[in-house]
Amino acid sequence: MRVDAGIAEGDAIGVYYDPLLAKLIAHAPSREEALRRMRHALERTAVLGVRTNRAWLHRVLGHPEVLAGRFDNTFLERHAAQFAEPAAARAAREQKARAVAAVALALQRRERAAAGAPAQPRPPGLPAGWRLHRSEDQWVDLEALWPGGPTSAPPAPPPAPEPAPQAAARTERARPAPPGRVRYRWTGPQSWLLVPQESADGLVPPPEQGGWQVELLHAELEPGAAGSAALRALELEIDGQARRWLVAIKDERIWVQGGAAETELRVLPRLPAGGQGGADGTPGPGGAHLATAPMPGRVLRVLVEPGAVLEPHAPLVILESMKTELTVSAAHPGVVRAVLVQPGEQVQAGAPLVELDGGEGAPAAAPEQGAPAGAGGAAAAGP
């Protein structure tokens, strides 16, 4: 294998040049062996912090027509649907990534405590949390991110009916929880019992009712440059299956890579905070929402004005980034409260573009075209 690359950990990936990050070149005595080496190299290559086409390349190189050498200039267009990640596969990937992220966060907290790091101050008015009996199971809320903002959270489930008396024992300690909650319990110095998903009625059961057994087999921590995310390699056995994972944590963002796919997660605050609507489309005062830029770019055209009534998927703004035009649309109906950008303006990923009123759900930015490889951010690379 040969790698031609010009990036290093901490480099900023801008929008003013070709988004090529690196080239992986495989050579072998046969085509089959070269493709096998290339797919293996893609699985072992980590570029965390920016969204790349690494997983897509891995799927393309495994297609039977590519393996047989039967493809032409229209091949990718004709087979595009086969190279998109199925919804079920994406849900399973995000679920497993949340489990791995919860373990990485638990290890990080334990290491900080052992190093004597000061504990996070407790908000005024909250009790200390002292308990007479066994400590409560730990939990963390993790939101999966994708170009355009969070997309993995399913709609809120309908209210669950009151359990029948005979079923009360089964759900005695189940708790309502938002999408993406992971509940876990330490069962040993290097092991956990973990529940990474909600049940159908929107409740997270206690770990002993359907949890995963997780064992830490090996861990390596590779500190990065000052201010960058540390790259952590974890070998975990999850329900009897051992696998190597790469995890990078920086502030509230976590990147988890397993094989050819990676998942970007955000740790949600344990306590709600007031203030303005979030850049991910979370509501602010008066029911306002923000449509945001899914990636860095230049505003080409603004397609709405204040007071405009929007249907679902109505186009709002057209951005240009990496020589690609990207239409940002409203994910839900609503009314334009304010336009926050103008043509020619350069914006960063997550920058608010349009403020929207009302509508059901959060009308966050919904890009109609996938982001190209290398869409802005800070790179964290490793073998």
Per-residue pLDDT tens over the stretch 210-225 = 678 899 999 887 655 4
Q: Is residue 52 part of a domain?
A: yes
Whether 294 maps to a domain, the answer reads: yes
Q: Do residues 73 and 93 both lie within one domain?
A: no
The answer to whether residue 156 scores a pLDDT higher than 50 is no
- Number of residues that make up the chain: 383
In whole angstroms, give the CA distance from residue 229 to residue 209.
35
Asked if residue 273 is part of any domain, the answer here is no
pLDDT digits (tens, 9 = 90+) for 12-37: 777 777 778 889 999 999 999 999 99
Q: Which helix (H) or strand (E) holds 43?
A: helix 31-44
Evaluate whether residue 49 is within a structural domain: yes
Domain identity same for 50 and 16: yes
d(CA 284, CA 160): 28
- Total domain count, the chain: 3
d(CA 300, CA 321): 10
Q: Are residues 147 and 176 in the same domain?
A: yes
pLDDT at position 172: 32
332 and 297 share a domain?
yes
Asked whether residue 91 falls in the same domain as residue 180, the answer is yes
Question: Would you say residue 169 has pLDDT above 50?
Answer: no
- 371 domain-assigned: no
| 298, 353: one domain | yes
Asked if residue 148 and residue 292 are part of one domain, the reply reads: no
- The overall average pLDDT reported for the chain is 74
Highest mean pLDDT among 100-109, 175-184, 276-285: 100-109
Tokens 């350069």 sit at which residue?
346
User: Exposure string (b/e) for 273-312, b if CB count within 10 Å is 16 or more?
Assistant: eeeebbbbbebeeeebbbbbbbbbbbbbebbbeeebebee
Q: Is 121 contained in some domain? A: no
Residue 244: predicted pLDDT: 92
- Two tokens, residue 305: 């004005």
SS3 21: coil
Q: Please give the residue that has the higher pLDDT: either 117 or 149.
A: 117
What's the pLDDT at 231? 77
Give me the domain span that covers residue 312.
Answer: 285-363
Q: Hey, what are 43's tokens?
A: 């699985």
Helix (H) or strand (E) holding 242: strand 241-250
**Model confidence over 256-287: pLDDT tens digits?**
998 888 899 989 887 654 434 333 444 444 55
Do β-strands 181-188 and 324-330 pair in parallel, antiparallel, or remain unpaired? unpaired
Structure tokens at 359: 């509508």
CATH number, domain containing residue 333: 2.40.50.100
Same-domain status, 317 and 339: yes
